[in-house]
Amino acid sequence: MSALPAPRHDQFEYVRCYLCGSADAMPLVIAEEDLTGKPGRFLFVTCQDCGLAYQNPRLKMERIGAYYDDEYIAHRKKTDWGPLKPLYEWAMGKHDRDKLALVDRYVSLGGHSAVLDVGCGAGTFLEEIHKHRGPSVSGVDFKDLTHLPSYAAIDFHLGLFYEQPFADRRFDLITMWHFLEHDYDPVRTLEHARDLLAPKGRLVIEVPRLDSASFRLFKERWPGLQAPQHTALYSRKTLLAMLEKSGLELVEYLPYGAFPAYFYLFAGTAFKFLKGRGLNLSKAIYPYFLGQLLLLPLLLFERKLNLAMQTVVCKVPGSP
């Protein structure tokens, strides 16, 4: 349990739909901060004009930082797990290897290539791709974790992605692993990414999928809500519409991601029981791996079941 107080009314702001600009919206679900148990209730609405689900009101940007504390899994250091460290490192290493295997299908990278990871967190994906494919690697995040050994080869930019100029640099691969659903201005972000792509460059975006089995199962306790950090929740339809609005062309749509759908099945079940009290990840790790073993037959078909994630690969329209 955290000491952070529930946010005050004046720490929120109202926004219009990120996709179509409409203010016409209906309530979808009220979410709590289920992962760490911080207080507060957060409303997601559905745009009545285009169908995008988004948080409204949302916390002002200067207030949201407090929710990205050390409990946040993407920023978690590798050394927090005590005797379970090897198992945790294996699982996190597998996640980075799965990301690499996914992007390998769309780009062939070498020593002259350049890769940018937006929302690079602990930097381990960039470390992995640099080590095994050799490109120069750049990362952007609003949290500075450059003291970590994984950052040795990373050209790091601190701050908001769309405010990073990068001058005349172009990237063969830009990745956004669970970044876009946190973004306060997703169209601006996607347009900036489009402008930074090399001629044959690819942009790979993974986000939770709203029109998925796990959302239908868990509703207000769906881990993909991750309130208040998630500003928008994308279905296949609204994600593709946002790409089009941002001047990007779809190369392929995947009804899964590199992030394990099992995490959502496990966390959603835990959130149902905990009812907003927060999940102690160090205590949950034994049931986590046990559950994964039990569900293995189901998880072998993860890519066909539309459980929780989605990934789009896109490019500049008309480019090779």
- Interface residues with Zn ion (CB under 5 A) are 17, 19-20, 22, 47, 49-50, 52
> Which residues have a Cβ under 8 Å from the Cβ of 90 and sit 6 or more positions away?
none
Cβ at position 48, least distance to Zn ion in Å: 8
* Closer residue to Zn ion (CB): 26 or 293: 26
* Closer residue to Zn ion (CB): 6 or 23: 23
Cβ at position 191, least distance to Zn ion in Å: 17
Cβ at position 242, least distance to Zn ion in Å: 10
CA distance 172 to 315: 10
Reported as type and span, the H/E element at residue 85 is: helix 85-104
C-alpha distances out from residue 284 to 118, 278, 281, Å? 29, 11, 5
CA distance 54 to 181: 9
Backbone torsions φ then ψ of 55, nearest 5 degrees: -80, 125
C-alpha distances out from residue 106 to 224, 298, 310, 313, 315, Å? 26, 27, 16, 8, 11
* Closer residue to Zn ion (CB): 97 or 188: 188
* Closer residue to Zn ion (CB): 47 or 180: 47
Cβ at position 35, least distance to Zn ion in Å: 27
Cβ at position 19, least distance to Zn ion in Å: 5
* Closer residue to Zn ion (CB): 98 or 191: 191
Token pair 């995008």 is at which residue? 52
* Closer residue to Zn ion (CB): 24 or 252: 24
Which amino acid makes up residue 144?
A: D
DSSP letter for 151, please: G
Cβ at position 119, least distance to Zn ion in Å: 24
